[in-house]
Amino acid sequence: MRRIRRAKILATLGPASHEETMIEELAKAGADVFRINMSHASHEVLHQTVKRIRAVEARLKHPIGILADLQGPKLRVWKFAEGSVNLVAGQSFTLDSEENDQGNAQRVYLPHPEIIESVSVGDRLLLDDGKLQLKATKVGNGAIETEVIYGGKLSDKKGVSLPDTLLPTGALTEKDHADLLEALKAEVDWVALSFVQRPEDIIDVRKIVQGRAGVMAKIEKPQAIERLEEIVKLSDAIMVARGDLGVELPLEQVPGLQKRMIRMCRRFGKPVIVATQMLESMITAPVPTRAEVSDVSIAVFEGADAVMLSAESASGQYPVEAVSTMAKVAVAVESDANYNNIIRAAQTEPEATAADAISAATRQVAETLDLAAIVTYTASGSTGIRAARERPNKPIIALSPNLRTIRRLSVVWGIHCVQTEDAVSLEDMVDRACVIAYQEGFARPGDRIAITAGVPLGTPGATNMLRIAFVRQDGAGSS
């Protein structure tokens, strides 16, 4: 199960891929982390899917990460008397709080009083994934009067997006809270939070999670962009949710925002996942379009930690082919002559801490001396993430006694995770690192490896030591 690529792959599980045999096929094809979408999964399905992933993990003897993606608030208009209406540009249309009346071509019930209270005159309201656009002309008395800017067919329970409005509600609904507790009970490795608007949304979830899983913020709202740096600092990872971003922001801004988020996450040492429509045509076709291949390759060239498949692997006709294609694109990009120069050009200066300085030095030493691998001992995962932040052109092996840590690191760029007992001494640490580098196929007798750790051993987050060791004929090491 050793990967020859650094970028990781997230695959969403669903009707086309929830069986254990298919999960195993996807893992063998290249999936490093599996996403369970709580918009569609019941608690029973969640536990069943986690059990199947863990069975595959045990069989393959390779750590697999699990991400539970929380649904977030779903803002929708209510029903129409005729099932749908046709709105024409320039006409007036009202969204109100008249619950008992069916909608018509002039008005519809909006079952979200927080929207009616928050929208200001001039704010845009996007309906049905942005296909229709309204502009608020008058607000008050439990209603929003609007002018239709872009018309079209509007049917029952279509979604409402508010690119100009900051809603007072938090990102966590009652359903999300129940799903989050169930996901923690199932011991998932990551939880993704939808509808993030402000740093406080992350703080609220952290209070519940209490370190039992990594907290991933999905950036899909313009309001989150305005406070991006604060949100990145508070999160354990970031997902660039380009689908919703593309609805609420001008589409032409999304590629630049993607690049900005990837660079910011690298600067702060936070894993970043690029998601949505990466190989969309493979839902119904066995091969992607040229544009989709280019899209995936750009994310890999920029140094994203992971790229994600949604419907392609969850409900598409070719889930294994989609994962395999994504893996092949990543391998081709990382083999490109320009790859290392592009990655290095986006390098950021290390923070003024011993841990960051050691990680930066380790990369330079490994590349200058042409070492076989970088081996990091990591209790909490922070040492491994620091090593990956440097984007070395040498393999990174993360060793940890904590199974949860190595599963969580499965989303991080370039890290090959191995569970092992904690070293009892410096000599044991060197031997263990060399033996594992040899056994996992990264180093041969006579090769040298770099070893980083925190001393005293087992101290979380205290990377303060760098050793260079020779791999002996028996696979053990000497420094």
Residue-wise pLDDT tens digits, 215-248? 999 999 999 999 999 999 999 999 999 988 999 9
pLDDT at 476 over 90: no
What CATH superfamily classification does 354-478 receive? Pyruvate kinase, C-terminal domain (3.40.1380.20)
How confident is residue 464, by pLDDT bands cut at 50, 70 and 90? confident
As a whole number, mean pLDDT of residues 54-69 equals 97
pLDDT reported for residue 460: 65
Residue 243 identity: G
pLDDT at 271 over 70: yes
How confident is residue 100, by pLDDT bands cut at 50, 70 and 90? confident
pTM: 0.93
CA dist., res. 414 & res. 33, Å (int): 14
pLDDT reported for residue 68: 98
Structure tokens at 289: 């379009």
pLDDT reported for residue 461: 60
As a whole number, mean pLDDT of residues 197-212 equals 96
As a whole number, mean pLDDT of residues 270-289 equals 96
What stretch(es) of the chain map to CATH 2.40.33.10?
Answer: 84-161
Q: Which fold has domain 8-72+170-341?
A: TIM Barrel (3.20.20)
pLDDT at 333 over 90: yes
Range of weakest confidence among 166-170, 201-205, 252-256, 433-437: 166-170
CA dist., res. 341 & res. 334, Å (int): 11
Range of weakest confidence among 56-65, 256-265, 425-434: 425-434
Q: Which residues are within 8 A (CB) of 422 and not within 5 positions of it... i.e. 6 or more apart?
A: 377, 379, 401, 457, 458
What stretch(es) of the chain map to CATH 3.40.1380.20?
Answer: 354-478
pLDDT reported for residue 21: 98
pLDDT at 129 over 70: yes
pLDDT at 376 over 70: yes
pLDDT at 473 over 80: no
CA angle centred on 140, ends 139 and 144, rounded to 5°: 45
CA dist., res. 407 & res. 87, Å (int): 50
As a whole number, mean pLDDT of residues 146-172 equals 93
To 10 degrees, the CA torsion angle through 126, 130, 132, 135? Answer: 30
What CATH superfamily classification does 84-161 receive? PK beta-barrel domain-like (2.40.33.10)
* Top-confidence residue, 258 or 100: 258
pLDDT at 459 over 80: no
What mean pLDDT is reported for the chain?
93
As a whole number, mean pLDDT of residues 106-129 equals 94
Q: Which residues are catalytic?
A: 35, 76, 218, 276
Percent above pLDDT 70 for the chain: 97
CA dist., res. 378 & res. 58, Å (int): 22
As a whole number, mean pLDDT of residues 172-185 equals 96
pLDDT reported for residue 453: 86
